[in-house]
A and B are shown apart, each in its own frame.
Chain A
Amino acid sequence: MKVVYTWLKDFVDVTATPQELASRLALSGTNIGGVENGAHGAVIEAEVSSNRPDCLGHLGIAREVGAIYKLPVKPVLPKPAESTAKASDAVRVEIQTPDLCGRFTARVIRNVKIQPSPKWLKDRLEATGVASISNVVDVSNYVMLELGHPLHTFDYDKVRDHKIVVRKARPGEKIRTLDGIERQLDPNLCMISDGDSSRAVGIGGIMGGAETEISFSTKNVLIECAWFEPVAVRRAARFLKLHTEASTRFGRGADPEMAELASRRAAELILQLAGGELLSGVVDVYPGKRTPKKIRVTRAELLRVMGADVPDKEVESSLSALGFAPIRIDQNRGAEGSILATWECTQPSWRAEVEREIDLIEEIARIYGLDKFPPRLPAARQGAARLPHYEAETRLRERLIGLGYREILTIPHVAEERDALFRPEGVAPARLSNPLSEEASVLRSNGLVTMAAALEWNLNHGQRNARLFEIGRHYRLNGSDSVETPVLTLGATGEGRQKNLYEPSREFSFADLKGDLDSIGALAGSFEWHEGGPAWLHPARRGRLQLRSNEIGAAGQLARQVAEKFKFRQDVFLAEFDLDRFCSAVRAAKEARRYEPLPRFPGVERDFSLLLPDGTHFSSVVNAIQALNISEISGIEAADLFRGKNVPAGKYSLLVRITFQSREATLTDAQIGDYSARIVASLENNLGAQLRAQ
């Protein structure tokens, strides 16, 4: 709402500069978009919040100014000269839907001269950004901007039978509105019709019809000034996708009492600008007349909510200026500052949203000044708690960062076919019913799809080395319920080790991913790796992750057919696991962890160079050795792996390093020799291993 400074002065004798005024308005609750000095003086852009329809006119803003500066606001008292002929003889009004239309007033002016508006009127309209059309149409806009109440003018002679019927729209009904568009109507809409009510001449509270529009040949004018039910108007505007100055004001709640006054003000201006003869009186059908609400506000409640007092005088002056007519009604009413003070207020017709004590407290506080309530820190009454998995998640995050992974955050909206690449079978995706685009039509059912997209972005922007992680959620539907599951997703591509002055670079490999995951897994006990995994992983380079035999995720190299979809030209590695289960395991592992005394006797390492048939897993070697139950074995490591030269086809060479250590004594050569012989025998017998050298 553009507020013209000089127009405001018609109502209140403010002396503050427009800038000062704007900042005072801002601090008392009228948001200010800016102040401009245009051709017609200063214009303040007031961004009126949706609960204050009364401020969508200069009079409403003037009331605010009056309250802030404690200045009187001049009353609006239009007294147009009336002829002897009665309006009630010239027009009839019938409201069939009092639930949608609470009041309808009609005035008639005969023999007007439609012509361009005078300069002062054009200037004011121009300052508020409204185009001037003709004197009569301009008057209705002017009065709306002045008093905040929308009006509509009909060409009286085009209204059939000079009768207005307010009714609901009929099935299949259409209307061509003032903007020239033919609109399909909905039976819930409030329509203004004429004559036998078969023809719609306007959509109540939104826009008039084209057929009864004022033109330069109009002789007689019918002024409609009505009140429509706000929720119905909002619903209608949304249905029609037609948001007008009128629908905004009626939709937020216009002042029903203002209808007659605004009509009278319009009549006064039309007589002044277009001449003619105003028929006496007004046709006023007012089924929705309300008795003003009484609302009480007490000092006790004010103190309870605001935490600091407001003097009686300030309470009373602010409420009076805003039209609430406060009266002290408590037994202590002579005593100023009494803790028992109670004021009874009367809700002004333009402030329908003020209904409760808290609403009045807000009014008092904002006019008094929010800065007058001294800030203080409340005492804490209880300990504060972090999220249940805060510690586990923090340790996980720190470890990942130590391992070189950068955290990312993604938007879960993805393309359906991309999500499907990673979506487990049988999982129902959470699809949006009103997506912005196909590329963002499904909420990701897994974290991999957005991780792959982040790697894709980097590869497409010349960043070929990336190690990323995301702590996020995936979203799935279970019937008609949504399921959100926290997951950790890892993604890596490019170099596993950067080239530097001292070492060459090396590409990231499955072993890097496994090592990184095992570093993380150590926080939660440790991961158990199992064969197999989802189809989006490369069949030869993937694994399933378990924690204490519970499946929690998978890791490996991205399968070729998926990589092709992303046009990846280098190997990409991905992993994902269930975060809640992991964090629970981290907590459990932490609770179970106990100190193990350091060994007092030296350990002895022995290397066994084995030739093993291809396909023999290191874990089989470990199992075979562990089956010997030699308690002095404290470590079994794969120290070297070798294929090719000097190794027969179908075999590979594995160097196994075993550490022997006793808690009781230093081991003798004889003991170690004995253990070694048993180990070699077991590996030979169980795995067909050959010892190359020891």
Chain B
Amino acid sequence: MPFGVIYIAIMPNIENPTEKTLAALTINDPLAIEELFANEKARFDKQLAAKNPDEVNYALMKNAWLGRKAGVLTLISENWLKSAPPTLKPIVGQSLNQLKRHIEESLELFWVAAEKTSEEAASTRDRVDLSLPGVIRPAGSHHLIRQVFQEIEDIFFSIGFSVVEGPEIETPYYNFEALNIPEFHPVRDDMDTFYLELPKSATTPLLLRTHTSPMQIRTMEKQKPPVRVIVPGKVYRRDNPDATHSFAFHQIEGLAVDADITFCDFTGTIEYFVKQFFGPSVKTRFRPSYFPFTEPSVEFDVSCPFCGGIGTAASGGTCSKCKGAAWIELFGAGMVDPAVYGFVNYDAKKVSGFAFGIGIDRLAMLKYGIDDIQVFFQNDVRFLKQFP
């Protein structure tokens, strides 16, 4: 902008030319007009450059130059344009528009700069401290056992198992006899049982079910095959409580009976469940075992998910979860013993099926590293909070 510099330099004290008409300024050729406008532009730029970008200065500058009543541009329009001779009017108008655009754009940039400055200023004062806590509306939580139940129910539900529930107070018939466990069967020694005190008139004893298996019988009594159910619930054994025993605990029973269910379907179903629950890399194995109500019976093991099935912990020592065995015994299961079908009037020659009983507390303890079963029942909020 060489013109402006010269202009200001040579006419420092000249009166403001925008207050005079062109005629009064004795300007009558286009070049002089361009110089006039160049001077105004230079004046604006100089003023703007001298000011800190903030909201006040922005308003000042905007008012001084674009103000509708006494702004420089209004004066130019009034004094130079309106009275300009027709030959000069186009060039005055054009120059005025250019100057206006320049001022607007410059002020816009000035505004952006002003905003930035004010943000920086505000930041120390107004900005939220993200390290301070918000206002918590405390939410509750599902009990961990309930969460594990839900997860298992969902897995089995997704492959066609319905959910049913049954009574916790049972008769010996459903808890034992119909499951092929007659009185004095050795298996009864492992299932110490709570009995209810009943009036003398009672015809049958009542007990607290020692497993969810009575619902196998109740379900089959009620419906014909195909049967595919899981039964979540509480069960009871008369064991003295310690870190691994509680006289109440939780199980999920599973039962599938149909015209064509085989051992392969059984192992496939169990494998599917375990890979959903522990992840696809877990290995499984079935060991022959014995239960009176299944045959063949199995114990089901998974490769220890905590050491990856090698028996050695990451630290190098023996894995504490599988105690170095590399396998963890999860639960018992098997093909439904034909004798059981006899109790529910199913034709053992025509149907077959499988059943399993999963101990939920143990599974949760394994999965979440809990070393004392009692914490499930103490309901300390510090425990409950850990599993939101």
Contact = CB atoms under 8 A, between A and B. Distances in A.
A458 B184 contact: no
B247 A500 contact: no
A594 interface: no
Given A407-B142, A409-B146, A469-B140, A458 B269 contact: no
B267 A387 contact: no
Given A374-B264, A434-B195, A500 B133 contact: yes
Contacts of B246: 411
Given A306-B262, A306-B264, A408-B384, A28 B379 contact: no
B264 A409 contact: no
Interface string A448-475: 0000001001100101011111000101
A356 B340 CA distance: 14
Contacts of A411: 246-248, 377
A358 B195 contact: no
A436 B238 contact: yes
A691 B75 CA distance: 65
A161 to B, nearest CB: 35
B66 interface: no
Contact of B379 (A403, A468, A503): A468
Contacts of B145: 409
B256 interface: yes
A401 interface: yes
Contacts of B137: 404
B158 to A, nearest CB: 8
Interface stretch (A377-385, A555-563, A620-628, A681-689): A377-385
A386 interface: yes
Contact of B376 (A305, A366, A409, A498): A409
B199 interface: yes
Contacts of A307: 262-265
Residue from the set B159, B163, B184, B203 with the largest chain A CB neighbour count within 10 Å = B184
B202 interface: yes
Given A407-B142, A409-B146, A500 B287 contact: no
A365 B263 contact: yes
A381 B258 contact: yes
Contact of A358 (B139, B270, B337): B337
Contacts of A403: 140
Interface stretch (B10-18, B39-47, B293-301): B293-301
Contact of A306 (B143, B263, B338): B263
B295 A358 contact: yes
Contacts of B261: 378
B228 interface: yes
B295 A457 contact: no
A400 interface: yes
B12 to A, nearest CB: 60
Interface stretch (B53-61, B96-104, B112-120, B164-172): B164-172
Nearest to B248: A411
A374 B240 CA distance: 41
A430 interface: yes
Contacts of B288: 27-29, 362, 365-366, 370
Interface in A462-493: 463, 465-469, 473, 475, 477, 479-480, 482, 484
Nearest to A491: B379
A378 B268 contact: yes
A595 interface: no
A457 B338 CA distance: 48
A251 B186 CA distance: 8
Interface residues of B, number: 86
B27 interface: no
B162 A31 contact: no
A403 B377 CA distance: 22
A502 B135 contact: yes
A426 to B, nearest CB: 16
A604 B341 CA distance: 71
Contact of B338 (A356, A374, A480): A356
A498 B187 contact: no
A365 B189 CA distance: 28
B111 to A, nearest CB: 34
B198 A480 contact: yes
A234 B185 CA distance: 8
Contacts of B379: 408-410, 454, 457-458, 468
Q: Is the interface of B mostly helix, strand, loop or mixed?
A: mixed
A304 B338 CA distance: 13
Contacts of A377: 159, 265, 268-269, 272
A403 B246 CA distance: 31
Nearest to B145: A409
Contacts of B262: 303-308
A453 to B, nearest CB: 9
A603 to B, nearest CB: 28
A384 B228 contact: yes
B1 interface: no
Interface string A431-458: 1111110001001000000000010011
Contacts of A306: 262-264
B94 to A, nearest CB: 54
A550 to B, nearest CB: 23
B290 interface: yes
A431 B290 contact: no
Contacts of A380: 159-160, 228
Nearest to A308: B264
Given A231-B184, A410-B379, 9 more contacts: A303-B262, A307-B262, A374-B264, A443-B196, A457-B379, A475-B168, A482-B167, A482-B206, A500-B135
Interface of A: 26-29, 31, 49-52, 231, 234-235, 238, 251-252, 303-308, 356, 358-359, 361-362, 365-366, 370-371, 373-378, 380-387, 390, 397, 400-413, 430-436, 440, 443, 454, 457-458, 461, 463, 465-469, 473, 475, 477, 479-480, 482, 484, 498, 500-503
Interface of B: 132-133, 135-143, 145-146, 157, 159-165, 167-169, 184, 186-187, 189, 194-199, 201-203, 206, 208, 226, 228, 234, 238, 240, 246-248, 250, 256, 258, 260-265, 267-272, 285-290, 295-299, 335, 337-338, 352, 376-382, 384-385
Give the top 8 A-B pairs by smallest Cβ distance, nearest first.
A307-B262, A380-B160, A29-B288, A480-B202, A307-B264, A375-B268, A50-B186, A49-B290
